[in-house]
Structure 1
Amino acid sequence: MLCGRCLQKQPEWDKLTFVTDYLPPLNKLIHQLKFNGSPSLAPALARLLLLSVLAARREGKISLPDLILSVPLHHTRAWRRGYNQSALIATPLAHWLGREHLPFAIKRIRSSPAQSRLTARQRKKNLKGIFRVEIPVAGRHIVVVDDVVTTGSTVAEIARMLKRQGAATVQVWCLCRTL
């Protein structure tokens, strides 16, 4: 399914699979996971995403990837929070699907303001050149897992970078979207 923005300008990724729009009750659970120190919510949230992925696969909308990656946090933000919520969601998901998850395959090479406080234009500018791929991806079918896709700027920058380095396809899997 494509949103109005994606119909106007094709996104950098090939497919987007999500559980629901960013609405209660899931948005509140994601907020608990990210900001209230509740990493124990991640496996249950990952299970919800798994159900959406399996449904999309059954319907022929997506195929399983070679590799699952997660949107990275800058090391200082990860240290403050104590974990990367996207990696906590991706780890059980990869296990259940029998796929490899490499949580440190994409590195955030500089710190930046929190995306949630920026406009769409600021988000895009904020992310230019902020990520680096740490592994060979040429010819591979990759999934990038994130908790929420808001404007799509973060996953677009990662997808652009992965494709520049030769990834065959890049799918994005997330819990919620607001596109």
Structure 2
Amino acid sequence: MMRARERFLRQALHLFYPDACVSCGTLLQYSEEMICSRCLQEFDAFSTVDASTAAVTKVFRAHHPSVSPPVRAAVLYRFHHHDRLQGVLHDMKYLGVYRIAWYFGRAIARYGAGAFSNDLPEMVMPVPLHPLRIAERTYNQSALIAQSLAGELGLPLCSDALIRRVYTSSQTGLTAAERHANLRGAFEVHGSALSGHVLLVDDVMTTGSTIAEAMSALRSSGVDRVSLAIVALAARSRI
């Protein structure tokens, strides 16, 4: 009952107070967008794309040693269990607050622009959801992030080439090995073969199983290099 009540209150906050911080509910200052400065200071932000790339590479080497890590990984934050950022990500993913996804897309573009300036990907591609999952949620938050990001960087958006052909159960609470087994063969490339450099977009990364499978499917179709754009990386991956 309490969870349902909290969900209703958060939905009402986002609907009736669009100028309020989506994290704490305080009114935003003129210079602030979506999340107030105080809440942003509480987020565990990566300092550079080099730092976030190193962190993602470490996860790949620990959990997916047979999969080559991404060329670059522009990750905004680490998220911790029950921190403010996790609450914002939950609202974006489950409460239909689309504008949070658009905000994060713009934020990743600003954060990663310098790192990608001399090696721009040919296209931006979201990690897809299975059609049944989209029917449950009505939207794919990663696709909204990718749309915003592509617009900011001036890159083509490709949302229909990579498809999720296997409906998988929730990854929550699974170990890294269980996540990997749950997602094996979940993705495939639809239509003509791809090539070049793809910027793959997702909202969060925990053990990297979803992204590793998606990257493998892209590489099998002819993609030479894959970079990542992610809002948040789990502070401690479950092994």
TM-score where L is the length of structure 1: 0.88
CA 1:176 to 1:137, structure 2 compared with 1: closer, same or farther past 3 Å?
farther
CA–CA separation in structure 1 for the residues paired with 2:114 and 2:204: 19
CA 1:102 to 1:5, structure 2 compared with 1: closer, same or farther past 3 Å?
closer
Q: Among the aligned pairs, what percent are the same residue?
A: 31
Give the drift of 1:36.
1.9
Residue among 85, 107, 132 paired with 2:141: 85
The equivalent residue for 1:38 is 97
Which amino acid letter does the alignment assign opposite residue 109 of structure 2?
L
Query: Relative contact order: is structure 1 or structure 2 higher (C-alpha 8 Å, sep ≥ 6)?
Result: 1
Larger Rg: 2
2:104 matches 1:48: no
2:210 matches 1:147: no
Report SS of the residue matched to 1:154: helix
Give the drift of 1:93.
0.8
Number of corresponding residues:
176
The equivalent residue for 1:105 is 161
Residues 128 and 140 in structure 2, CA contact (< 8 A), matched pair in contact too: yes
The equivalent residue for 2:175 is 119
CA–CA separation in structure 2 for the residues paired with 1:14 and 1:136: 23
Give the strand-richer structure, 1 or 2.
Answer: 1
2:75 matches 1:18: yes
Give the drift of 1:43.
1.2
CA 1:77 to 1:137, structure 2 compared with 1: closer, same or farther past 3 Å?
same
Deviations for 1:26-71, whole angstroms, at most 9, x for unmatched residues?
A: 322111011222122211111221122114336x6xx221011101
Report SS of the residue matched to 2:54: coil
CA–CA separation in structure 1 for the residues paired with 2:205 and 2:191: 24
Which amino acid letter does the alignment assign opposite residue 19 of structure 1?
L
Task: Identify unmatched segments of 5+ residues in structure 1.
Answer: none
